[in-house]
Each structure stands twice: as C-alpha cells, then as structure tokens.
Amino acid sequence: MSSDPIEVLFKAIEERRAELVELVRALIRFPTVNPPGEAYRPCAQFIGDRLRTRGFDVDYVHAAGTPGDSERYPRINVIARREGAAPGPCVHFNSHIDVVQSGGGWTLDPFAADVKDGRVYGRGACDMKGGLAASIIAVEALIDCNAKLPGTLEVSGTVDEESGGYGGVHYLAQRGWFSPPRVDHVIIPEPLNVDRVCIGHRGVWWAEIETHGRMAHGSMPFLGDCAIRHMHAVVDRFERDLYPRLAARRTDMPVVPSGARHSTLNINSVHGGQAETPGYPAPTVPDSCRMVIDRRLLIEENMVDVKQEVRELLEQLVRDRPGFRYTLRDVFEVLPTMADRNGPAARSTAEAVRRVIGRSPEFICSPGTYDQKHIDRVGKLRDCIAYGPGILDLAHQPNEYVVIEDMVNAAKVMALSARSLLNRTA
C-alpha cells in the first residue's frame, strides 16, 4: 500500500466512485428549473443535511425580495463551512443548483438521472450538478484522509445563476459571504472540460433601441413615418460601421471558441408594427419598432465607451436622417473579469490537472458570463477560477450528460488543488 498522501487521497476518491454517481443522480432528481426557481429549498436542504453529517456548519440564506423570489419559489442558498485543525486560508467551492428548462428534443426523462455507457444523463448533469457532486466528494475525501488538515473548507449551492445570480452569488457577495478574510480562494465547478482552467469571462451589455414613427393608414404611408424603416437604417449603420469595427478588435483574453476573442454584437430580436389577428394584417404605418441587442465586451474595453459607440451611431442618424428619433434603454450589464493565471487558485489547479490528467491544462476564458463576476466585482475577491468536469458544449442541450470518469478525475483535481491551497503559507 502506498504511503504517498496524494496517492492515498486519489484512492479514497476512486473508492467513492459509486457514491459520486448516486450523489449526482440524487441532485439531478431535484427539478431545480429556473425560471421559475423550482425545488430550490429541498435541493439546498439535501446538500446541507449531507455536509452537516460530515462536520460542516450549515447556513441557509434566503435572498428575500430578489427577482423571482416568492412564497411559492423562495430563493434559498446553502453554505457549508468546516474549520480545520489549524488556522489557514479558506477554500470555497461554489456551484449553482439551478438548471435551465429541459426544453424539447429529449429521448430520456430529463429528471430521471439515467446511467448509461459510463455517463449520467439529465438536465443539469453537465451544468453543473456533476461539478457540484465532484466537489462534495473531493472535500469529503480530503477531510477523511487528513486528520490535521489546516484552514477552512466551504461548499455552497447557490441559485439563479442562469438568470444573472441576483438571488444567489450576487446577494451573498453583497453580504460578505464571498469576501476576504472569510474566503481566500474560490473554485467554481462550471462545465469547462476536465483539462481546462477557466480564469474569467467576457462582459455583457443588453440594451433596447426603440425607433419612433407616426401612425397613418397603410394606403397613405406618406402621411405617416415608418418606425421599421428607421430601424432598418440602424441595422444598416451597424452593418457598415459597427460590425467591421467590432471584428477588428481582438482580446488577449484566451476566450474559447476563438471566434469570441473579438467584440461581438447579436441582434436578439426586433419587434415592430401593430399586432395582427391571423388573416387580418394591420394596414397601419408602424409608430414604434424595438430591437434588443446583446453586446459582449472584452477586458480591454470599458462599458462607458461601449455604450457611447452605439449612441454615437444613433446620434449620427438623428443628424443625417429626416424624422429619425430613438430611445436607448439599458437592460442588463456585466463587466468582464479575469483572474491572474499565476494566482494561487489557477496555479494549484493547473498543477493538479497535470498530475491527474497527465497533461498541461489550457487556460481559457468563457464567451458568456457566470457567477465569477459577482465574486470579483462585488465580493472583491480576485482569486477565483472555474474548473469542472462537464463538456461545455453539452450545457443547456437536450440529452445533457456528464461522463463519470470525468467527474472522478475532476474530484481528484479539486481535492488536490484544495489541499495545496490549504497548506499554502501566505
């Protein structure tokens, strides 16, 4: 029998393989669909009950009054904390327990958690109950193998990540749950592939542009002013001036896929004209047209300039185009964030990947956002990364699954990374 403590730790995780599978299955069976925020309380309770029996102190935090919170759908978060044998840093594993709607296209029951061909299937298997289960097994094995483990371990199950995190990590970060000195290092087991370490994500600006016109009879459009034609002029400006500029901007962030290493803008939707009853089109000149844009920004950009760039194009149209009037409304925004790839969490996780998987991990950034933004910007905790077992492309898809072998390997990486972080002398 090996006396290398790391081999002993890995063996302890191997021995928990069946337990890990049963744990992720149990988590998938809670249909924590968001919206509306189904089954948050029993899922949080399940996690808390389990960790309490392992010596954790457990807190439930109800994010009262946050979007979607109601008596029927309370926003309940669970945070479990266990202080070790000696003082030391605190390592926190944060997973969101909410999942997106199951949607169409499934050939399996999305909440039955079927096991087939070395995989566990279900909504949230990949994003991110596989990562949550792996992190729980990782800390439990770590505790069982190290009677004298210094420092503090925390595991949280938080809600509403899929809708912005306001009832989850944002709420907790505002109240100090994700700030030093309570917490020093955070690993978020989002599904970013078992051999990659994610250090950040791009930012977001969602906005609504409305063009205004004047109603008239459709047979005499010259008496009105068509808001949709004004909106066409906006799209035309975007095509000629904005898109080429965005495509020319390239980031040093290692975003995957590489197409997302540029600034991007999606037109999410356009709504214009009068509502029509089927078979009876409204013969009216539209007086309003609305467009929702989704602009993703790079760490090198700043939000003020990003907004100003769009506003300037609209102002040019006011000058150039007779009758052009618009309203620009902010809908949602998130700043980009990126941790130091030489910081403690990134480095110790990368070393653990090298040891467990046998190759150097790729450092990446995510094209979309996740809860790291709140930990960084609100909690002011910079040493936060994402590392987890799921395959990124499967997130939110029908027949979503997580590979059992990946969960076992990710649990080893998380346990080893936490072990090095806890033993670090500041």
Which residues contribute to the site for Zn ion (CB under 5 A)?
A: 127-128, 190
CB of residue 210 to Zn ion, shortest distance in Å: 32
What is the chain's length? 426
By beta-carbon proximity to Zn ion, the closer residue of 210 and 406 is 406
By beta-carbon proximity to Zn ion, the closer residue of 128 and 384 is 128
Residue whose tokens read 């941790």: 339
By beta-carbon proximity to Zn ion, the closer residue of 234 and 407 is 407
By beta-carbon proximity to Zn ion, the closer residue of 128 and 375 is 128
CB of residue 190 to Zn ion, shortest distance in Å: 5
Closest to 177 (Cα-Cα) out of 417, 40, 369, 381 = 381
By beta-carbon proximity to Zn ion, the closer residue of 152 and 349 is 349
Residue 381's contacts (CB-CB under 8 Å, 6 or more residues apart) are 178, 179, 180, 183, 184, 186, 375
> In the structure encoding, which two tokens stand for residue 354, read together?
């090298």
C-alpha of 87 from chain center: 32
Closest to 96 (Cα-Cα) out of 320, 370, 413, 310 = 370
- CA-based torsion, 141, 144, 147, 152: positive or negative: positive
CB of residue 128 to Zn ion, shortest distance in Å: 4
CB of residue 178 to Zn ion, shortest distance in Å: 17
CB of residue 370 to Zn ion, shortest distance in Å: 6
> In the structure encoding, which two tokens stand for residue 312, read together?
């300037």
By beta-carbon proximity to Zn ion, the closer residue of 128 and 197 is 128
CB of residue 201 to Zn ion, shortest distance in Å: 11
Select the residue whose beta carbon is closest to Zn ion and give its number.
Answer: 127
CB of residue 94 to Zn ion, shortest distance in Å: 11
By beta-carbon proximity to Zn ion, the closer residue of 317 and 334 is 334
Q: Which helix (H) or strand (E) holds 188?
A: strand 185-188
Give the chain's end-to-end CA distance (angstroms, integer): 33
Question: Across the beta sheet with 325-334, what order do the strands follow?
Answer: 264-272, 288-297, 203-212, 325-334
Task: State whether residue 291 is helix, strand or coil.
Answer: strand
As a whole number of angstroms, the distance between CA 127 and CA 13 comes to: 21
CB of residue 129 to Zn ion, shortest distance in Å: 10
> In the structure encoding, which two tokens stand for residue 148, read together?
């004298």
CB of residue 69 to Zn ion, shortest distance in Å: 20
Given 3-state DSSP classes, what are the helix, strand and coil percentages for the chain, each rounded to the nearest 5?
A: 35, 25, 35
Beta bridge partners, 337, equal: 201
As a whole number of angstroms, the distance between CA 285 and CA 276 comes to: 13
CB of residue 173 to Zn ion, shortest distance in Å: 17
CA neighbours closer than 13 Å in the CB half-sphere of residue 213: 25
By beta-carbon proximity to Zn ion, the closer residue of 127 and 225 is 127
By beta-carbon proximity to Zn ion, the closer residue of 190 and 376 is 190
By beta-carbon proximity to Zn ion, the closer residue of 98 and 301 is 98
